[in-house]
A = this chain, B = another copy of it.
Amino acid sequence: MSPDFFASRWAQRPAHVTDAGHGLPAGFRAAAAAAGIKGGGAVDLGLLVCDAQDAVSAARYTRSGVLAAPVLVCRDETTPNAMRAVVANSGNANAATGPAGVQAARAMQRMAAGEIGAEPGHVAVASTGVIGVPLALDGFEDAVATASAALHRGGDEAFNEAIMTTDAFHKRASLEVQLPSGTVRLSAQAKGAGMIEPAFATMLCFVQTDAALEPETAELLLSVCVQRSFDRISVDGQLSTNDTVILMCSGESGVRVAPETEDELRFGEALDALLRMLAIMIVRDGEGARRIGRIVVRGGSAEVVERCARATANSPLVKTALHGADPNWGRIAQSVGAALRGTAPLMLDIAIEGITVCAGGIAVPYDITALNAAAAGPEIEYEVGLPGAGFETEVLFSDLSHEYVTINAEYTT
């Protein structure tokens, strides 16, 4: 197996999961083509199809007040638990484009449905790219036909390529999962590097399995696993208009994942590890990121630990310090203090990579050489203790780099 996919201490490979390298689970095919949005012949349209007529699906979408047209079409005009295809484009988010944008998203849906012989209501649509630019469909008809003709089980890599924007690398996996009732495959293709914040990011993630899940099981597992993965990351604290995660189950393996069984538990563990690692990969690709951080906050209130974890993960001062391998923990004291206004004196504990630097709100002596060395690794863990007990949360976040500024200062012009 590839040694690379589960390459974080924060997302470990379950013992019953092995990396299958490439390829989609039984019953799935994918391909990509150039629709002319990005220009220069770049691949910017992806098509992914489940050949099982009775595929089961589950989906999650961004909660932004500004929803992109494809999100509106998916949410309002598809059968949520029976989606069996995805047509996706990069280079244009089709957001803030009004009724014309909705028409364009429906047209994409219809073209794909027509090519593969499905109902439009069973085809999901997704877009990512610039906001506020009308989506020109000139090249779509040909591109959808080209992709449709090229569909194959090894098309996951091309599909992944087609949904990338500022992504520096592919975020994709194909896993084999040993369940008590048999072996199933689980694959996913994700994109995301910027405009990434909880709840969740412009991240798109498409997940396929040949296991047979009931709609309720698909819903439950996707919901729980998204909460532990894409909901817990931030590159820049910026919730997107287009976030979409779709799980599709072909059932072609003949292995049924029944509710409240060991199969469900093991399948859930595999899905959890998969999405968690993909989420970490998005953070790691966080537009110029050099290293990533994990802030863990513990205390007596769910709302307070969440607020402090978000504030710290999204602090440009904490993020530039992370970039510079600078264990400047005073900025964590600052970000937590700012998140909890009017609470001084705050009994605040801070540790970096297990080294306590602040206890009860007061600096404590520490070995600066050891601390500097600990802050120079690729993954830095910060722990914050607040008064009280019983609640704990985490956020995984990227640093803030020169490359982030370069990428985002020059994105449309």
Which residues in A have some Cβ–Cβ distance to B below 8 Å? 63-67, 72, 93, 95-101, 130-134, 194-195, 197, 199, 236-241, 315-317, 320-321, 323-326, 328-331, 333-346, 348, 357-358, 360-363, 372, 400-402, 404-413
Contacts and interface: CB of A to CB of B under 8 A. Distances in A.
Nearest to A93: B330
Given A96-B361, A363-B133, A341 B63 contact: yes
Contact of A330 (B132, B239, B316): B132
Given A130-B330, A199-B341, A328-B413, 19 more contacts: A63-B342, A64-B338, A64-B344, A65-B338, A65-B339, A65-B342, A65-B346, A66-B348, A66-B361, A67-B344, A98-B362, A197-B338, A238-B338, A316-B316, A321-B412, A323-B409, A325-B413, A326-B409, A328-B411
A378 to B, nearest CB: 16
Number of copies: 2
Contact of A65 (B236, B329, B337): B337
A363 to B, nearest CB: 5
Given A333-B241, A337-B239, A344 B131 contact: no
B341 A64 contact: yes
B334 A66 contact: yes
B405 A323 contact: yes
B363 A134 contact: yes
Contact of A404 (B316, B324, B339, B358): B316
B334 A239 contact: yes
Nearest to A324: B409
Most buried by B among A72, A96, A401, A404: A96
B334 A131 contact: yes
B97 A326 contact: no
A401 B412 contact: no
Contacts of A409: 320-321, 323-324, 326
B337 A408 contact: no
Q: Which 5 A-B pairs rank lowest in CB-CB distance, beginning with the nearest?
A: A131-B330, A66-B337, A324-B409, A98-B362, A320-B408
A330 B96 contact: yes
Given A320-B405, A326-B412, A408-B316, A363 B98 contact: yes
B405 A400 contact: yes
B96 A326 contact: no
A351 to B, nearest CB: 13
Contacts of A65: 336-344, 346
